[in-house]
Amino acid sequence: MTAFEEALRARCPEMPVRRDVPLKDYTTLRVGGPADYFLEPDNENSLCGALAAAKETGTPVLLLGNGSNLLVRDGGFRGAAVRLGKAFSAITSLQNGLYAQAGALLSALSRAALEARMTGLEFAQGIPGSVGGGVYMNAGAYGREMGQVVSSARIWDGTAVRDVDAAEMSFAYRHSKAMDSGWLILGAAFRLEPGDPVKIEEKMRDFAARRKEKQPLEYPSAGSFFKRPAGYFAGALIEQGGLKGCQVGGAQVSEKHAGFLVNRGGATAEDFLRLMEYVQAVVREKSGVMLEPEVRIVGSEK
């Protein structure tokens, strides 16, 4: 038994620990090597116990929700992958909004807002991620971002659980203070406005139709692969570079939307990394713009 397993057993004796679990099964790109440890806590106390055990033993932690916006290298993750699934998917009503645990899907959150006759989360209905990941990287679509509707976030700051307000989260384009501070998102409260459910649903249907028309939903992807450069659109720069359909192994620049890199079948993380680097080099040569990945890249080389 390793030091981490001993520390975990001391705090959470009933929590199962799986070893060498392939993370490709838990990411929307469907690539990624194994995690040394794989945990699925069933409540916040057991989650905090696992995080404390990891801190005590110097074990890196990868918090997983829906596994979107994430590329795990083929060598896997040398640490503990902690998945927040159904046990962390509750959505509850507040006086002027909603509270959602980190494992709740953004699509479910958007639907809950509709059912509560609240407007402000229509843009999130098609984002293929969870609340935790969406708040962590300030996900957005159609000119709206999570930071515009989050009133506070519940975090693990490395020592304890606490609630921080939106100002302390320092939201910016595809960024939050959590990314710099190592905070883990456990949930968030959303400040919403009363709305007409007919108009809310119409907007959601419009966004869904636009996504279906323009995005390669038929293939595994991590969503938009690159950040939007100031003054440009990443997809347009990639298309102008003649890169639509460009393929390395099973990874391909989508023929439908060049801002997406998709898994056409059997892709490895290395395929995506090589394709990413090639796209970056071509776009920089042709436009002078260096594209930055929006996806989070973690793990070890093989």
- Among 40, 122, 145, 294, which one carries the catalytic annotation? 294
From 46, 224, 228, 254, active-site residue? 224
Active site residue 224: yes
Copy the structure tokens of residue 122: 């229509």
Q: Which of 11, 111, 144, 174 is catalytic?
A: 174
Q: Which residues are catalytic?
A: 174, 224, 294
